[in-house]
Amino acid sequence: MIYAFDTYYYEDHAKTVCIAFEDWTSENESDIFTEKTEVSSDYESGAFYKRELPCILSLLNTIKLKEGDIIIVDGYVTLDNDGKMGLGGYLYEALDRKYAIIGIAKNEFASPDSQRRNVLRGESKTPLFLTAKGADVDEILPKIEQMHGSYRIPALLKKLDQLSRA
């Protein structure tokens, strides 16, 4: 199973949503999980994970992960060639490196990262930015290209974003 997470922040709480789907080419989700939590920390530039990681871990407590499951986060897993981790890297460590974590970011991070790949989908000239831990980023890249939907952002990830904001 593939589990994609996104969190949206409101004034007094955060809403975290997870869409579960069977395969990279799935058109529809198998399940949707949602949780509203108190925001545990303010936004801190360069430390986004401190705010979002507790939300994802809390929602993950309601999901029974199995060996081979994959988790997608809206953001980065790795940030640079020096080993600096993004949200997905901290999640990978928090889950004892048991599950592949895939980061799909919409905005480019400035530091060079030899493990980051640009993914072009549909007719878009603007890439998505792919990073991973626990999986080979070059094996994941074609899977992201093949995800359902003809636009830059795969259809299920677009739905995930909309659900977190609703």
CATH superfamily of 2-165: archaeoglobus fulgidus dsm 4304 superfamily (3.30.2170.10)
pTM of the model: 0.94
DSSP 134-157: SS-HHHHHHHHHHSSSSSSS-HHH
User: Among residues of the chain, what percentage have pLDDT more than 90?
Assistant: 87
Q: For residues 129 and 108, is the Cβ–Cβ distance under 8 A?
A: yes
For 151-166, b/e burial (b = at least 16 CB within 10 A) is ebbbebbebbbebbee
pLDDT of residue 39: 76
Domain spans, the chain: 2-165
Q: What is the pLDDT of residues 67-84, one digit of tens each?
A: 999 999 999 999 999 999
Q: Is 43 exposed, middle or buried (0-12, 13-18, 19+ CB in 10 A)?
A: exposed
User: pLDDT confidence of 38, banded at 50, 70, 90?
Assistant: confident
User: Among residues of the chain, what percentage have pLDDT more than 70?
Assistant: 95
